[in-house]
Chain A
Amino acid sequence: MSECCTPSLSAPAAIDAAVPAIRVSTELSWSDRLGMLRMRLDLGRGSYRVAPGLYRTGEPGPDSPVLVTANYRYSFDLVRASLAGLDAWLLVLDTAGINVWCAAGKDKLTTTVVADHVIRYRLADVVTHRTLVLPQLAAPGVAAHDVRAFTGFRVIYGPVRADDIPGYLAAGMKATPEMRRVHFGLWDRFVVTGVELAMIWRPATLLALAALVATSGLGAWGFSQSALLVRGSVALFSLLGGLVAGAFVMPLLLPWLPFRAFAAKGAIVGGAAGVALTAFSSGEVGLLAAASAGIALGVVSSYVAMNFTGSSPIASPSGVMVEMRRSLPWQVGLGALAVVGWISSAFVGKGW
């Protein structure tokens, strides 16, 4: 088993001979918290896992509740931390290290997966009751009535957020309407921008930026170092500005921007920044190059903002299709215009 799949927990994991479950701490260490930060920056998200299996917090007995979660380590950590002072069983499903909601949406957390783990870890021998508490966001992949048919265990859906688990259990496994809602407030939106912005340090992005800057010095004038510096900076501002506008500013301003399509919201933020870039740089690089860079900023922002639909919990696939049909022709057309304008600006007008 590779290192990624070994449970490296803050408390020493020990298998109790009497109880077929690994005991875990409900406290998060600094390294757990650092791991959460790393995940938010998309650093090694694909391999942040714990081994699937049956775990326990405290000293659960045959009557203790069974909570189910994914083997994405972040999810697992949030759940165990929520169980401080509680005696509970924690059934960790093999979801290929993917979080609960996404795994449920892409056939990694299904009825079959739940039933398989219930049987494999002999839950019927561990507890006398026949109830599994699944996270609510597992529901897109799991049919509660089918799990019951396959295993005899009744599935009930707990709260959306792990930190509501104590309240949910204390209320006799009753979730308030509030616990059942997915929110997308300012903080929620800020937190997910990290993964969006992480595209900046992907090799493909860095390579494209480097190539663009490197060719900025070339033109009808041959090669010019000052063109490289000035045109290169404008190009860099344009693309990085587009990424930041679409992946960071637009998500933060989401509810206050007009239009419902994310691509349109991104075009507004990027368009405003693009106009500013054009105004500030046309004296240095000429109007054609400046306008091309400004348009490119708006197009990149709109496209990146459109892709933010995937990071938001409010966009339906049918709505995304509607906005893609409307915006892609504009993004492609204006993007081509910006490229042609930028290249042309190296051959007409201002020399270096």
Chain B
Amino acid sequence: MSGLGYIAEAVTLELNAEACTGCRMCTYVCPHGVFAMRDGVAHMVDRGSCIECGACERNCAAGAIRVEAGVGCAAAIINGWLRGTEPDCGCDSC
């Protein structure tokens, strides 16, 4: 649904295709279909949908993916500012 597009220009996701071993793991773990395989290598086909959850980077054994992962939550970021810590939603349940 295109109406659910979010601010995309700041997304930090980077893929080094030369380091990709073609294991497909990023295509399995991404919840927004950012990656697809082409010629046996991962490509970013919808980089703007990336929510920077970090699943791809964490599961890329080849270290071909970089992303500044975090939780896209304004309340967590404000909490971090107030306490001088990393973003932390402060809730015990989410």
A contact set with B: CB distance below 8 Å: 42, 45-46, 48, 72, 96-99, 102, 104-106, 136-137, 139-145, 156-157, 160, 175, 177, 180-182, 184-185, 195, 254-256, 260-263, 306-307, 309-310, 312-324
Contacts and interface: CB of A to CB of B under 8 A. Distances in A.
A317 B87 contact: yes
B31 interface: yes
A99 B77 contact: no
Nearest to B25: A144
B77 to A, nearest CB: 6
Contact of A317 (B25, B70, B92, B94): B70
B28 A306 contact: no
B52 A317 contact: yes
A310 B10 CA distance: 17
Contacts of A254: 3-4
28 contacts: A42-B93, A97-B93, A98-B94, A105-B54, A106-B71, A106-B89, A136-B31, A136-B55, A139-B59, A143-B58, A157-B28, A182-B31, A182-B32, A254-B3, A307-B75, A309-B73, A310-B74, A314-B32, A316-B7, A316-B52, A317-B69, A317-B72, A317-B87, A318-B10, A318-B12, A319-B6, A319-B11, A322-B7
B74 A313 contact: no
A180 B31 contact: yes
Given A98-B94, A322-B10, A309 B74 contact: yes
B82 interface: no
Contact of B6 (A104, A144, A156, A260): A260
A179 to B, nearest CB: 10
B71 A137 contact: no
Contacts of A104: 55
Nearest to B93: A45
Given A99-B94, A144-B59, A309-B74, A316 B28 contact: no
Contact of B55 (A140, A307, A319, A323): A140
Nearest to B50: A316
Interface in B20-63: 25, 28-33, 49-56, 58-59, 61
B16 to A, nearest CB: 17
A314 B4 contact: yes
A45 B93 CA distance: 6
Contacts of B55: 104, 136-137, 139-140
A2 B32 CA distance: 39
B93 A46 contact: yes
Nearest to B88: A106
A316 B11 contact: yes
Contacts of B18: none
Given A307-B74, A321-B10, A160 B59 contact: no
A46 B92 contact: yes
Contacts of A263: 74
A72 B91 CA distance: 14
A194 to B, nearest CB: 13
Nearest to B54: A140
Contact of A324 (B28, B69, B70, B74): B74
B87 A180 contact: no
B1 A181 contact: no
Interface centre among A98, A144, A181 (most CB of B within 10 A): A144
Contacts of B33: 177, 180-181
Given A181-B32, A256-B3, A314-B6, A140 B77 contact: no
A46 B92 CA distance: 5
A310 B76 contact: yes
B68 interface: yes
B40 to A, nearest CB: 18
B51 A137 contact: no
Contacts of B84: none
A323 B6 CA distance: 10
B4 A255 contact: yes
A179 B32 CA distance: 11
A102 B52 CA distance: 13
Contact of A137 (B9, B10, B31, B68): B31
B32 A136 contact: no
